[in-house]
Structure 1
Amino acid sequence: MNSRPAGRRRGVRAEVLRGPFDPGGQPLVTRENHLHLSLFAWNVRNGLSASKAVLSNPQRHQDFWQWPTASKLLKETERAGFDSQLQYGMWSGYGGATGWNEAQLDFATAATGSAAVTERLGIYTTIHVGYEFHPVLIGKMTASIDHISAGRLGVNIVAGSNAADYAQFGLDGPPSQEVRYAIADEFTTALKYLWTSDEPVDFEGEYFTMYGAQVNPRATSRPRPLLIAAAGSDIGLDYATRQCDALFITSQDNDVEGYAKRAKKIHDMAAEHGRRARVCAMCYVVMEQSDAEAADTVEWMKSQIDDDALQTWLVRAGHVLNSERQQLDSDQVGTSRTEEAKQDPYLGIGQKFYESLGLGMGAYRLFGSYETVANQLIDLYEAGVEQVALCFFDPLKGVQEMREHVIPLLRARGYHQNPV
C-alpha cells in the first residue's frame, strides 16, 4: 500500500483499477446506416505517404500539417461533411529523402487548434501511455480540450512500442506486451475517474497513484469522451474491448472478407463484457476521375517509394507489420535490411508488403475513381467497418473530392447521414 503524502486532501477511494469500467455508461458508439468518416494523419509530414512523389509539390503533399494550411484543411473537412478528424500520434519520424513523419503537431496543441477553428467536427487525438505521462496531467489537458470543443473530444490510447520514442524520454523500452497493456488499462481507468467524478479520487494502482485527484473542468462530453484503440493481438483486443469504444482493425490479407471476420470477433468480445464497439479501419486514398488515371498515379508513386525511410520503419518495427509484436534488435535488423536491399529492390520483404508500406503504411487501399472509392467504402461498411480514417496523398484535393463526389454517392445509397 502506498503512503499518502502529508497534508494532502482525502478523496473517494477508487475501488476499480482495471476495466471494464464505464461510469455513466458508454458514449454513443454507432449510428444506423452511417459510415463515420474521419480525416487521418493530417498533423504529420507526408501523412502515410512514404513516396518521393510528395516532393513534386511539397506544400500539397508534404507540408499540409503546417498550421496555415492545416487550419484551412480542417475547415474544408468539416464543410465536406466528415464526422471527425483523427491525429496521428508521432514522436519519432523515419527520415529518408522525404523526411517521412519527421515533423508533426503534438496531440494537445493540434487538438486545441482544431477545436478553435471548427464548430462541429469531432476532435479525436492520440495519446501514448508508457512514457511516464501521469493520468492527472493527461486528464487535465483532455478535459480542457473537451471544454473548448464543447464536448467533441475523442481520445485514441496507444500502448507505446517504439524503442526510439522510449529513448527520447530517457527510458529503456518497450516493456513486454503484457506490461504495456496493463499500464494502458490502469491509465484508462484513472482517466475515466478524472473525467467523471464529482469528488476527488484516491487511486492506488500498480503503475499509477493519485491522492485527492480531481480536474476542473471535468469532461464536457456525456458520459465521457469517446475512447479509441488500435490492437491486433489477443492481449491488445482484450484491453480494447473492455475499456474503449472504437477499435481500429487490420486484416492479414487486407481484404474485405478478412475485415468481416475481424469485425465479428471484435463485436463478440465486446459483448462478452456487456459493451459495444465501433469497428474502424485506416484507409489510404488515391482518387482520380477514372480508374485508369488513379492507376497511373499509383504506379508513379510506387516507382518513387523512399527506401531509406521504409528501412528505418522496418528497423523500428523489427520487420513486423503488426506493431503488437516484440521489436528485434535495431542494429541487427538494420544490417540485415541493408544487405538484403543490395540484392532485393523490395528490401527483402516482398513486393506486396513493400508497396503496402510505401503507399499507406499497411492501410486498406482505396484506389480508383470516385465511384470505385464509394463502392469500396460501402463494401467495408457491409463487412462491419463502421468508421474509416482516411489519409490522402493530396489531403486538400482528397477532401474536396469527397465533398463533391464521394459523400453524395454514399448519401444517395443510404450509407452516410448529415453529421451531428
Structure 2
Amino acid sequence: MKAPTLRGPFDPGGQPSLTIDNHLHLSLFAWNVSSGLSASKAVLSDVERHRDFWKWPNASKLIRAIEDAGFDSQLQYGMWSGYGGETGWNDAGLDFATAATASAAVTERIGIYSTIHVGYNVSPLFLAKLFSDIDHVSGGRLGVNVVAGQNAVDYAQFGLVGPPTQEIRYAIADEMTTALKLLWTSDEPVDFEGEHFQMYGAQVNPRATSRPRPLLICAASSDIGLDYATRQCDALFVTADDNAVAGYQKKAAKIHAMAAEHGRQVRIAAMCYVVMEESDAKARETTEWMRREIDRGAIETWLTRSGHILNSEVQRVSEGVFGDARASSGVMEDPYLGIGKEHYESLGMGMGAYKLFGSYESIADQLIALYEAGVGQFALSFFDPQRGIQQMRDHVLPILRERGYNRILA
C-alpha cells in the first residue's frame, strides 16, 4: 500500500485509551541513567543508591517495586551523552531498547514507556521492528516518547552536523511518527516517500500488540512542537513558566484546545522531582544540603549543550560546542553561571522539573492540586529512588486513595 499521508494528524484505528477517572497516572522516570535528574554531589554520599541505581541489578528491583507499589508505568530517559562534572551526571545508563525489553520481562502490569530521538538518520522500519517486538514481549504495554533531538554533541556522535532548525526537527518527527503508525498497524507492506524518510515494501511482523497501537508521548513547549504533538501524540509533557499550578492549568487548557482542533484528545503530563521526608522541616534540611552540593561542572556542560540557554554570554560559548566553555570569564566568575540563582538551583535539583518537596501529606496535596489543574500523568524522579518508592507505597499512595484520587488497578 502507498502511505495515505506523510504527516499527521494520523490515527489509523483511533487513539489509545488515555484516562481513568479519579486516577493519577504515576511513572518512575529517569531510572535508567546515572543520577537521574540529580545534578548534586549529594549523590556521592551513597553512590550505589543515589547515582548507580540504573545498573540492572539495582534497576530491576526498582522496576518490580513500582509495580508492587501501584505505579502505572516506567518511563526511560533518552540519553546519548551525559554532562560530566564530579558526579558524572547522566554519563552512563541503559539504552531505550534494552531497558524497555528487560523491564517488560520482569513485570506483568505496568506500562513500558521508552524514549527515542528521531533526528539521527535512524530508519522508521528499524525502530518500528524493535518496538513491535518489545510490545510483543510486554503483552501490549508499550509507550514511546518521541524526542526531536537538539543536542549538537549527539548529532556529531552520529556523524551529523546539527541540530537542524526547529521546523526541520519537527518535520522529521512528524514523518517518523506517521511511518511508525503505518508499520505498527498495516496488514500490507508500505511504500512511504517522504522528504526525510523513504521505505518500499516495508513491513514488520509481529505488528504492534497494543490496540490500536502503542501510546505516543512528547515533551514540547514551542508552538511548533505543540502543533506536532497535538496532531500526532497522545500524552504531552509540559512545563509552566513559573512552575506554579495555575501555569499548568493554563497550559493544559491551551493544549486540549489545540488537540480538539484536530479531533484528538491528549493527556497532560508533568515531570516532577521528589524529595520527601516525615516532615516539611526535615525535607527542607535535605534539599538545602543538596543545593549546597550542586555539581557546577555538570550544570555548565548542560548549559553549553542544551537548547535552553537563557544567557547571551553562555550562548556565545555554546556555539563552539567542542571548545572550552571556560573561555567566557564573565560567566565563570558568576556563581550561578549567568542564569540566576533560582534557575541554577532548579537545574541542579531536577533539571527544571516541578519540585515535589515536603512531607508525605504535602506531596499528596501537591499531586492532587496539579491533577485538579489538568495534569493526568506524573513522571516522578527521586533523589533516592529505592526509598522514594517505599515512601510512595507506604505513605503517599494511601493518602491519595483515601481521598479518592488513585484507584487500585488490576
Query: What range describes the TM-score normalised by the shorter chain of this pair?
Result: over 0.9
Question: Within 5 A, what are the aligned runs for 1:125-144?
Answer: 125-144=114-133
SS for the counterpart of 2:269 is strand
1:260 partnered with 2:249: yes
User: Quick one: distance in 2 between partners of 1:54 and 1:161?
Assistant: 27
TM-score (structure 1 length as normaliser):
0.94
TM-score (structure 2 length as normaliser):
0.97
Alpha carbons of structure 1 residues 24 and 342: separation in structure 2 relative to 1, 3 Å: closer
Deviation at 1:330, TM superposition (A): 3.3
User: Quick one: distance in 1 between partners of 2:399 and 2:327?
Assistant: 44
1:416 partnered with 2:406: yes
Question: Within 5 A, what are the aligned runs for 1:44-55?
Answer: 44-55=33-44
For 1:189, the equivalent position in structure 2 comes to 178
Question: Within 5 A, what are the aligned runs for 1:60-75?
Answer: 60-75=49-64
For 1:7, the equivalent position in structure 2 comes to none
Question: Within 5 A, what are the aligned runs for 1:319-334?
Answer: 320=309, 328-330=318-320
Instruction: Give CA deviations for 1:394-414 in whole Å, capped at 9, x if unaligned.
Output: 001000100000011111111
Deviation at 1:419, TM superposition (A): 2.8
For 1:249, the equivalent position in structure 2 comes to 238
For 2:370, the equivalent position in structure 1 comes to 380
Task: Tell me how large the CA RMSD over aligned residues is.
Answer: 1.6
Q: Percent sequence identity over matched residues?
A: 70
1:393 partnered with 2:383: yes
For 2:70, the equivalent position in structure 1 comes to 81
Question: Are 1:151 and 1:225, in contact at CA under 8 Å, matched by a contact in 2?
Answer: yes
Deviation at 1:336, TM superposition (A): 6.9
For 1:311, the equivalent position in structure 2 comes to 300
Deviation at 1:331, TM superposition (A): 5.2
Alpha carbons of structure 1 residues 219 and 321: separation in structure 2 relative to 1, 3 Å: farther
Question: Are 2:326 and 2:332, in contact at CA under 8 Å, matched by a contact in 1?
Answer: no
SS for the counterpart of 1:221 is coil
SS for the counterpart of 1:229 is strand
Question: Within 5 A, what are the aligned runs for 1:199-348?
Answer: 199-317=188-306, 320=309, 328-330=318-320, 335=325, 338-348=328-338
User: Quick one: distance in 1 between partners of 2:13 and 2:346?
Assistant: 41
Deviation at 1:339, TM superposition (A): 1.8
SS for the counterpart of 2:20 is coil
Question: Are 2:305 and 2:321, in contact at CA under 8 Å, matched by a contact in 1?
Answer: no
User: Quick one: distance in 1 between partners of 2:368 and 2:62?
Assistant: 25
Please tell me the residue identity of whatever aligns with 2:343. F
Please tell me the residue identity of whatever aligns with 1:107. F
Alpha carbons of structure 1 residues 63 and 336: separation in structure 2 relative to 1, 3 Å: closer
Instruction: Give CA deviations for 1:156-208 in whole Å, capped at 9, x if unaligned.
Output: 00001000100000000000000000000000000000000011111111111
User: Quick one: distance in 2 between partners of 1:331 and 1:25?
Assistant: 42
Instruction: Give CA deviations for 1:7-58 in whole Å, capped at 9, x if unaligned.
Output: xxxxx11121100000000000111111100000000000000000000000
Unpaired segments of 5 or more residues in structure 1?
1-11
User: Quick one: distance in 1 between partners of 2:325 and 2:292?
Assistant: 24
Moved over 4 A (4+): 331-338
Alpha carbons of structure 1 residues 233 and 197: separation in structure 2 relative to 1, 3 Å: same
User: Quick one: distance in 1 between partners of 2:327 and 2:407?
Assistant: 47
User: Quick one: distance in 2 between partners of 1:61 and 1:182?
Assistant: 38
Please tell me the residue identity of whatever aligns with 2:220. A
Unpaired segments of 5 or more residues in structure 2?
none
User: Quick one: distance in 1 between partners of 2:375 and 2:320?
Assistant: 35
User: Quick one: distance in 2 between partners of 1:416 and 1:216?
Assistant: 37
Alpha carbons of structure 1 residues 319 and 31: separation in structure 2 relative to 1, 3 Å: closer
Deviation at 1:319, TM superposition (A): 5.2
Deviation at 1:237, TM superposition (A): 0.1
Deviation at 1:337, TM superposition (A): 7.7
Instruction: Give CA deviations for 1:375-399 in whole Å, capped at 9, x if unaligned.
Output: 0000000110000000000001000
User: Quick one: distance in 1 between partners of 2:354 and 2:304?
Assistant: 22
Please tell me the residue identity of whatever aligns with 2:353. A
For 2:79, the equivalent position in structure 1 comes to 90
Instruction: Give CA deviations for 1:53-94 in whole Å, capped at 9, x if unaligned.
Output: 000000000000000000001000100000000000000100
1:167 partnered with 2:140: no
Alpha carbons of structure 1 residues 329 and 262: separation in structure 2 relative to 1, 3 Å: same
SS for the counterpart of 1:64 is helix
Please tell me the residue identity of whatever aligns with 2:245. V
1:352 partnered with 2:330: no
Deviation at 1:348, TM superposition (A): 1.4
SS for the counterpart of 2:240 is coil
User: Quick one: distance in 2 between partners of 1:321 and 1:66?
Assistant: 34
For 1:3, the equivalent position in structure 2 comes to none
1:33 to 22, 27, 31: 22
Question: Are 1:51 and 1:305, in contact at CA under 8 Å, matched by a contact in 2?
Answer: yes
Alpha carbons of structure 1 residues 54 and 321: separation in structure 2 relative to 1, 3 Å: farther
